[in-house]
Amino acid sequence: MNHRVAVTGVGLISPLGDSSSSLFSALCDGRTGVSKLQEFSSNGHRCHLASRLPDFRGERYLSGRPLRPLDRTCQLATAACGLALKDSGWHTEERADIDFALVLGTMFGGMHTIAEFDRAALTSGPASVSPMAFANTVINAAAGQAAIWHNLHGVNSTVSGNSASGICAVGHAADLVRHGQLRTVLAGGVDEFSFESFVGFERAGSLCNDDAGPECPIPFDRRRNGFALAEGAGFLVLEDLSSAEDRGAKVLAEVKGCASAFDCSQGRDSALAIRTLVRAMNAALSRSGFAPDDIDFVSASANGSIPFDCIELTALDVVFGDRGSELPVTAIKCGIGEALGASGPAQLAAAIETFRTGRLPGVCGLQELPPGCPLGGIRAETIETPATSALINAVGLDGHCLSMVLASRDN
Amino acid sequence: MRDQAANRDNATQLRSDRIVVTGLGVITSIGIGCEQFWKALLAGNSGVGPVEAFDTSDFPVHLGAEVKTFEPGRYVFHRLPTQIDRASQFAIAAARLAVCDAGLPISDSEADDIGIVVGTTSGEPRVIERFDDHYVAGEVKNIGHNFISTYPCSALAANVACELGIGGDVVTIPTACAAGNHATAYAFDALRSGKAQVMVAGGADSFSRITYTGFARLGAIAPNLCQPFDLNRKGMIPGEGAAFLVLERLDHAQIRSARVYAEVAGYGLSCDAHHMTAAHPNAHGGVRAMELALKSAGVDPRHVDYISAHGTGTPTNDRLETIAIKRVFGDYAHQVPISSIKSMLGHTMGAASAIEAVACVLAIADDRIPPTINLVNQDPECDLDFVPLVSRSHKVNVALNNAYAFGGNNSSVVFARCGA
């Protein structure tokens, strides 16, 4: 027997605030977290924009115990998990007797910690490294630290699907609840901005740049020339709907279904890439028992990437056909940037706010869609649109294509 | 006991969603491919030797279990050397061997229903190590355009998918040294829920300076021998390798007349939520994982015929694992043969529980149990039957595979003879 999967809590630390409502009001107001990168001198870099959390302090969210064993990635994840638990109404005492699970998605884990650990050994010798730092060099360190902090004794998993890791985690966790393997699970993702990831993405030509005009990390915009690298953490509490209702929890939304497909051309063959994303979206819809016409809006994965935004546009056109001319589509990476593991959970958090408020944030900064754009519902302006269902896309930069149907309790 | 067996038979016959193992592929320091690997394992061969991957003169220890005869060109046909690093090469090779062993052609029509799940501890650590070499030398400008596509751990599953033409669910599970078991569990669920027709599940890790540095700093690396459960054991020995299993539903295997090695009967996962690198002294998490695995498999503990221990050779792990096994199995703990193949392969990190899964499956197929080598003076605190030194003929219908990891992760998977 399949269980229905309820979202009962959201915890978010994003460049646009540390709650769903602060993220959402910024998106609706057309504010962006993308700003001039302060850290590095612009010498030698073609990208000068990023979306960061300069003021994040773990102590603000996590108190009573030393934070020193947790690196920044661990602190972000642990803090966002704490916010989600609080939002879900699960109290520490009530959780003591159940196997609360955690499924965390991440592209890099603590890459900066790993690199610093290695560089300390290179420069000062292997005996000089910190054993405490070594503990955080495993990619599942954030999941382990969050479990210790919040006393989570159930399944503790970390999954990775490139920049789609957050939806990988939520989709996997939702399936475990749906099929009765888990009753309560924290699911989401984390990635921090690091020197290593910034340099890496820049070398690969993925970031917005000033090569031929102004930097433009605006999803779907004709002028787009790459994404702005971001950071953050976002987690949802998922539980089976009847248990959630039994304990009197507020049900924010339901995860109806998720699907994953892989493009072996990794975006190089655009026809195959489009077919693969179409396959993921159609599978997510059919697993959810939804037709394209049942979807009120799309939260796109688009982040300003030249090839991938176009692939997604065409794939949406294929799936939604004639509806494409009016289907409302938003792309919140205009505001938060590409937060990798945290992107998908932030898209889910924003979609829940759309269900609640009937407002769909516009793609801030959008001036002009690409020529021949088949979709008519991508706007710069925030619109009023009562909505009870959404299709959420997450497209990895290496071929991972995920799609998820989220619906409000009223759907 | 007969009743229990009858119950299990009834339960399994009623289940149409039995998940079976139809293909195996391994890349290890003692052998490549199942046949070579199993022969070496039963012979008690050791893959341990002086580390060649990097200079260990600044370390107090110098041994590792590296794969020394590996030729990536024999397995990697489509990915370019600039696109992939060593762990991906291992993963591709082991996955290709498993798919060949399963007699599974990946045609365009089926590719979308096949998934790949790769467990790993470090992903591609050598890529970040090269980054760091450039950084320390003041040559950040030499960091290549392919750093960001080759480094992330998700590249492991992506590379295998690209190489084999797999278009379904592609995911990497970086849950440290329990990752191989996590991958099997993920595949088991994906198949049971009908999300995929076939899952290729396993683990891969390459020998890494970062891992070696960390374990050396913890004082966890043995200077001479990996001696699980021995009174004089002094630690683990880092290793490398990969293993994959082809998993599918029994009816799917029967339709294509595939050979069935064994069944994945169930799994259990738990988290200590106690300490990042040390197991909880009450061993409760390990007990919980074994109990959940046996319960989900519908197997009475007394019907377990072989336990593949996590058995790293560190003083603490082996003592606590012994306590956990006793807690789960009671008096029967003294009767069930247990071995640690890490005594031969060292600790291959995220690959370890995948390689050990292959050993469990082969133990069922061959009714033989690989030994714990270097176990000459058994620790009185580890007073179970650890199959010391020589392999043993033993009827194996059910095997239990334990793996524990940083982050307090505990995992157990039950494999069982299929059919009968």
Give the distance from CA B348 to its chain's centroid.
8
The answer to whether the Cβ–Cβ distance between B151 and A137 falls below 8 Å is no
At B383, the amino acid letter reads D
| CA–CA gap between residue B95 and residue B103 (Å, rounded) | 12
> Is A260 among the domain residues?
yes
Task: List the Cα angle B387/B278/B207 in 5-degree steps.
Answer: 70
Q: Which pLDDT value is given to residue A42?
A: 59
For the domain covering B265-416, report its CATH number.
3.40.47.10
Residue owning tokens 């030194």: B389
Q: pLDDT higher for B193 or B15?
A: B193
For the beta carbon of residue B380, count every other beta carbon within 10 angstroms. Answer: 7
Find the length of chain A: 411
In this complex, the residue of A106, A161, A266 whose CB is nearest that of residue B162 is: A266
| CA–CA gap between residue A140 and residue A13 (Å, rounded) | 19
The answer to whether the Cβ–Cβ distance between A153 and B175 falls below 8 Å is no
The answer to whether the Cβ–Cβ distance between A129 and B170 falls below 8 Å is no
Residue owning tokens 């593949």: B308
**Interface membership of B106 toward A (CB under 8 Å):** no
At A375, the amino acid letter reads L
| CA–CA gap between residue B24 and residue B15 (Å, rounded) | 24
Taking CA atoms, A165 is separated from A267, A377, B184, B192, B195, in Å, by 17, 27, 19, 22, 18
For residue A71, give the nearest of B155, B349, B276 by alpha carbon.
B276
pLDDT tens digits, A290-300: 999 999 999 99
Catalytic residue at B177? Answer: yes
> Is A129 among the domain residues?
yes
CATH number of the domain at A371, please: 3.40.47.10
What spatial distance separates the first Cα and last Cα of chain A, rounded to whole Å?
21
Kindly report, as residue ranges, where domains of CATH 3.40.47.10 are found in chain B.
Answer: 19-255, 265-416
Handedness of CA A106, A107, A109, A112 (dihedral sign): negative
A194 and A316 share one domain: no
Chain B residues lying within 8 Å of A114, measured CB to CB: 125, 128, 210
> Is A11 among the domain residues?
yes
Smallest CA–CA distance, residue A98 to chain B, in Å, is: 12
**Interface membership of B406 toward A (CB under 8 Å):** yes
Asked whether the beta carbons of B397 and B165 are under 8 A apart, the reply is no
| CA–CA gap between residue B22 and residue A93 (Å, rounded) | 45
A247 and A266 share one domain: no
**Interface membership of B26 toward A (CB under 8 Å):** no
Q: A89-101 burial, b if ≥16 CB within 10 A, otherwise e?
A: ebeeeebeeebbb
A236 and A262 share one domain: no
In this complex, the residue of B58, B149, B285 whose CB is nearest that of residue A126 is: B58
Q: Provide the pairing of β-strand A389-395 with A232-240.
A: unpaired
Which tokens hold the place of B164?
């084999």
The answer to whether the Cβ–Cβ distance between B132 and A197 falls below 8 Å is no
Asked whether the beta carbons of B32 and B348 are under 8 A apart, the reply is no
Structural domain span for residue A335: 255-406
Asked whether the beta carbons of A74 and A147 are under 8 A apart, the reply is no
A201 and A314 share one domain: no
In this complex, the residue of B122, B175, B193 whose CB is nearest that of residue A179 is: B193
| CA–CA gap between residue B390 and residue B371 (Å, rounded) | 5
Residues in CB range of B42: below 8 A, 6 or more apart: B368, B370, B371, B391
pLDDT tens digits, A67-81: 999 999 999 999 999
| CA–CA gap between residue B214 and residue B211 (Å, rounded) | 5
- Widest CA span in chain B: 70
pLDDT tens digits, A246-295: 999 999 999 999 999 999 999 999 999 999 999 999 999 999 999 999 99
pLDDT confidence tier of residue A39, bands split at 50, 70 and 90: confident
Chain A residues lying within 8 Å of B175, measured CB to CB: 140, 143, 156-158
Which residue in chain A has the smallest CA separation from B272? A153
A226 and A83 share one domain: yes
Q: Residue A67's beta-bridge partner residues?
A: none
The answer to whether the Cβ–Cβ distance between A139 and B174 falls below 8 Å is yes
Chain B residues lying within 8 Å of A261, measured CB to CB: 112, 167-169
Handedness of CA A70, A74, A80, A85 (dihedral sign): negative
The answer to whether the Cβ–Cβ distance between A140 and B128 falls below 8 Å is no
- Mean pLDDT for chain A overall: 96
> Is A411 among the domain residues?
no
Residues in CB range of A36: below 8 A, 6 or more apart: A48, A49
Chain B residues lying within 8 Å of A111, measured CB to CB: 128, 151
| CA–CA gap between residue A104 and residue A352 (Å, rounded) | 20
Chain B residues lying within 8 Å of A160, measured CB to CB: 152-154, 171-174
A198 and A81 share one domain: yes
For the beta carbon of residue A213, count every other beta carbon within 10 angstroms. Answer: 9
Asked whether the beta carbons of A24 and A348 are under 8 A apart, the reply is no
Chain B residues lying within 8 Å of A156, measured CB to CB: 175, 269-271, 273, 407-409
At B222, the amino acid letter reads A
The mean pLDDT of B297-307, rounded to a whole number, is 98
A26 and A117 share one domain: yes
The answer to whether the Cβ–Cβ distance between B122 and A396 falls below 8 Å is no
- Whether the per-residue pLDDT at B93 is higher than 50: the answer is yes
pLDDT tens digits, A98-140: 899 999 999 999 999 999 999 999 999 999 999 999 999 999 9
**Interface membership of B144 toward A (CB under 8 Å):** yes
Chain A residues lying within 8 Å of B153, measured CB to CB: 109, 139, 160
| Three-class HEC string of chain A | CCCCEEEEEEEEEECCECCHHHHHHHHHCCCCCEEECCCCCCCCCCCCEEECCCCCCHHHCCCCCCCCCCCHHHHHHHHHHHHHHHHHCCCHHHHCCCCCEEEEECCCCCHHHHHHHHHHHHHHCHHHCCHHHHHCCCCCHHHHHHHHHHCCCCCEEEEEECECHHHHHHHHHHHHHHCCCCCEEEEEEEECCCHHHHHHHHHCCCECCCCCCCCCCCCCCCCCCCECEECEEEEEEEEEHHHHHHCCCCCCEEEEEEEEEECCCCCCCHHHHHHHHHHHHHHHHHHHCCCHHHCCEEECCCCCCHHHHHHHHHHHHHHHHHHHHCCCEECCHHHHCECHHHHHHHHHHHHHHHHHHCEECCCCCCCCCCCCCCCCCECCCCEECCCCEEEEEEECCCCEEEEEEEECCCC
Instruction: Please identify, among A199, A231, A253, the residue that sits at the C-terminal boundary of a domain.
Output: A253
For residue A357, give the nearest of A385, A318, A398 by alpha carbon.
A385
Q: Which of B226, B310, B382, B418 is catalytic?
A: B310
Instruction: Please identify, among A253, A269, A284, the residue that sits at the C-terminal boundary of a domain.
Output: A253
Q: A286-320 burial, b if ≥16 CB within 10 A, otherwise e?
A: ebbebebebbbbbbbbbbbbeebbbbbbbbbbbbb
- Whether the per-residue pLDDT at B3 is higher than 70: the answer is no
Instruction: Using CB atoms within 10 Å of the CB of residue B122, give its burial: 0 to 12 exposed, 13 to 18 middle, 19+ buried.
Output: buried
At B198, the amino acid letter reads V
pLDDT confidence tier of residue A327, bands split at 50, 70 and 90: very high
| CA–CA gap between residue A364 and residue A203 (Å, rounded) | 27
A99 and A153 share one domain: yes
Provide the chain B residues 35-64 that lie in CB contact (below 8 A) with chain A. Answer: 58-60
Q: Which pLDDT value is given to residue A212?
A: 87
Cα radius of gyration (chain B): 20
A18 and A164 share one domain: yes
The mean pLDDT of A368-382, rounded to a whole number, is 95
- Quick one: what percent of chain A has pLDDT higher than 70? 99
The mean pLDDT of B269-284, rounded to a whole number, is 93
A218 and A272 share one domain: no
**Interface membership of B85 toward A (CB under 8 Å):** no
Report the complex ipTM.
0.97
Which residue in chain B has the smallest CA separation from A102? B271
| CA–CA gap between residue B393 and residue B414 (Å, rounded) | 20
Hey, which CATH number is domain B19-255, 3.40.47.10, 3.10.20.740, 3.90.1150.10, 3.90.550.10? 3.40.47.10
A126 and A58 share one domain: yes
Asked whether the beta carbons of A211 and A292 are under 8 A apart, the reply is no
Give the distance from CA A349 to its chain's centroid.
9
The answer to whether the Cβ–Cβ distance between B174 and A125 falls below 8 Å is no
Q: Which pLDDT value is given to residue A140?
A: 98
φ/ψ (deg, to 5) at A100:
-70, 125
Instruction: Please identify, among A217, A238, A253, the residue that sits at the C-terminal boundary of a domain.
Output: A253
A239 and A260 share one domain: no
- Quick one: what percent of chain B has pLDDT higher than 70? 96
Q: How many domains is chain A partitioned into structurally? A: 2
Asked whether the beta carbons of A384 and A241 are under 8 A apart, the reply is no
- Whether the per-residue pLDDT at B378 is higher than 90: the answer is yes
The mean pLDDT of B122-134, rounded to a whole number, is 98
Asked whether the beta carbons of A138 and B407 are under 8 A apart, the reply is yes
Taking CA atoms, B314 is separated from A156, B261, B317, B370, in Å, by 23, 32, 6, 20
The answer to whether the Cβ–Cβ distance between A158 and B174 falls below 8 Å is yes
In this complex, the residue of B132, B175, B409 whose CB is nearest that of residue A115 is: B132
**Which of B78, B154, B409 is the best mutation test for A, with the most CBs of A within 10 A?**
B154
Q: Provide the pairing of β-strand B241-249 with B198-205.
A: antiparallel
Smallest CA–CA distance, residue B55 to chain A, in Å, is: 11
| CA–CA gap between residue A229 and residue A199 (Å, rounded) | 10
Instruction: Using CB atoms within 10 Å of the CB of residue B384, give its burial: 0 to 12 exposed, 13 to 18 middle, 19+ buried.
Output: buried
- Mean pLDDT for chain B overall: 94
